[in-house]
Structure 1
Amino acid sequence: FVALQILAIATLCCTSILSNMSIYNFTKICAEPIDQDLSGNYTIMSSNFTRTQESLLQGASAVGALASSIPYMLTFNRFSGRFVFLSAGVISIVSTALAPLAYTLGFWGFLVARVAQGISFATVLQVIGVVTAEWAALGEHGMFLAFLTGCTQLSNIFTMPVSGAICSSSLGWTWVFYVHSIVCAVVFALWLLIYRLHPCGPRLF
């Protein structure tokens, strides 16, 4: 039963990290100022960033993930996956919560937030391997991998409708980031409470 709990919370944590990283693709639409022509027949979206800057922001998370993949791999081998993955969660929470502020600071501030989100993403595939290796019985590896890798689809299922609802509400686009960071904080708090070092070990509270 504990193994299933860990499988569920690990899947939710991976989903949350992916959601935090992908909300930029959605919120960059509703965050942009809207200018309306004099006839009032249509609106023109004008971005705060140039096309080159938008391309760099799009790829910044990939750069962060690539740069931190080897350091995180070494850290997973040396320390408990419980706290290593928690550190990635904290980075994702903070960078997502501060993203609206970073957006107001301009391109470079927002670029740092995007890179930080990518750094946390570097742990997702590694924690999938760690949880499967430590908690899945030999005949359960396929099930564990299916659930854990399903975080890619789950993140879209969660992020798109939630972001759309918040963007179209009076809360505005900034609360898309705030809500996602709050959800991420909750699921990683559960990770900290539930995860054990190994199946035979004591629960570490």
Structure 2
Amino acid sequence: MPEETQAEQVEPQPQEPETAPEADGRTDPWSDPEAARREIEKLRREAAGHRTKVRELEPLAAKAKELEDAQKSEAERLTEQLAAERERAAAATRSAVAAKVEALAAKTFADPEDAAGALDLTAYVDESGVIDRDRIQADLAALLERKPHWGRPDDGPRRPAPDRTQGSSGNGNRTPSDPANDFANWFKHSLDQAR
């Protein structure tokens, strides 16, 4: 507001004749001090109106920014959640394919985990999530041809299982005992003592 007091204190200058109109049809307001004062006051009122509108709109702009940030953070949260779910689904698919490969390799491989580790498990799942069993079997056969030492040993003659009753048992006079006979003898002995 000090500008208004300065404008009032300005001494009037002698009026000059009006100049020729400008190209847009208006006259130069600065050649006439009274017209300049009116123009300045008009511009001040417009500026004051704009400042008032800005003050009124600032809270709305802040709310709009908050909503935009909330939507952005919500979108970011949903994007992160989607990425986590996709990773979880991919891990479940890898686990299912590995289990299928190991199950099919158990028939011909000594250690089915070797087969699952040597194959690309992502190659056996189509876009709909179906596991291609025939392709797995073909790749297992090819892998067994390349690495025959991973195969299950031939089911040739089996070695006999050890008989624990044979050989030394620490006491050469020991005979194998039957638990049923041992219990019957203990029970008989207990009855005899109770009489």
TM > 0.5: no
Q: TM-score range by the shorter chain?
A: under 0.3
Give the number of the structure whose alpha-carbon radius of gyration is greater: 2
Greater RCO, CA 8 A, separation 6+: 1
Structure 1 length normalisation: TM-score? 0.24
